[in-house]
Amino acid sequence: MKSVKLIKEQCVRIKDALPKLANIVKDPKPKNEAESLTTYKLENFEFVLVMIIWYKLLHAINIASKFFQVEIMDIDEAIKLLEALIWFFENYRESGFASAMDEAKQMTSEMEIELFYERCNIRRKMHFDKSGSQEVI
């Protein structure tokens, strides 16, 4: 939970710091990791979106988890907390993804990241026993 929160809150600063780190470091392994994190993770809209979704879900679960770890707990409060958690998930199913998408769009615009990129088409090699048509032989 804490690591996702820190990355979410400091994503812009991390994105700016990693290329600088890659230029400073002489060891090829950390340099390559910093460059690939910047290029393939932090500059990726899907990564930002998933990070935001994970943060919201983990935050809701973390509140309940901390309450259940207390030695002395009130069962009525525990039931209310579980009902609130169920309500959160049901509500998140309806409108959470849209709000996460809006937040991800805002965050990626601040980071100057393209929303979506065009993926290359995957071509499958035809085997000798397969034909291109759907006809039954």
Q: Answer yes or no: are the C-beta atoms of 126 and 132 closer than 8 Å.
A: yes
Task: Indicate whether 106 belongs to any domain.
Answer: yes
Write out residues in the chain with pLDDT < 70, as ranges.
1, 40, 115-124, 126-137
- CB burial of residue 18 (10 Å; 0-12, 13-18, 19+): buried
Residue with tokens 């600063």: 13
- Whole-number Å distance between alpha carbons of 20 and 37: 13
> What pTM does this model have?
0.65
* pLDDT (0 to 100) of residue 133: 58
Residue with tokens 């290359």: 120
Task: Indicate whether 75 belongs to any domain.
Answer: yes
> Which residues constitute the domain of residue 67?
2-110
* pLDDT (0 to 100) of residue 132: 57
Task: Indicate whether 120 belongs to any domain.
Answer: no
* pLDDT (0 to 100) of residue 84: 93
Task: Indicate whether 11 belongs to any domain.
Answer: yes
* pLDDT (0 to 100) of residue 137: 56
Task: Indicate whether 131 belongs to any domain.
Answer: no
Task: Indicate whether 124 belongs to any domain.
Answer: no
* pLDDT (0 to 100) of residue 134: 58
Count how many domains the chain has. 1
123 three-class SS:
coil
Q: Answer yes or no: are the C-beta atoms of 57 and 92 closer than 8 Å.
A: yes
